[in-house]
Structure 1
């Protein structure tokens, strides 16, 4: 049985995935656990292939993931650049 906030409708999921593609960040709103929200961004490699992801989570009562999206996206981009640079030095 799924969590109460898990997205299961194909149309809603499709729209959310399109938004993730457009913005470069994903939001999780109480889907993994009630009371927990999260913002995540992919760490991309040389040809924009996903290498990893970085996320920040917190309680719904104190954490506003939308306010952290820019910082999470910037951290993921910086990590990706570091990994690319490190790989090219080998």
Structure 2
């Protein structure tokens, strides 16, 4: 009789643990979605983002990146490995 009780208790605990895990995952997804919304709301427009990148890189970004412009930049670099 006690063997049945132990098995029943273990199964019940496993179901409770699975439910808690599922609930925690759902809450984590909700929190992550909320955080992403706040991050996206705080992003500047395209012009401001370009200016931030320009300042960070020390030189302006080209208006459009093409394969040719990337290759030209690599070839101009003195230490291109």
Question: Is this a same-fold pair by TM over 0.5?
Answer: no
TM-score normalised by length of structure 2: 0.31
> Structure 1 or 2: larger strand share?
1
Q: Which has the larger radius of gyration?
A: 2
Bigger helix share? 2
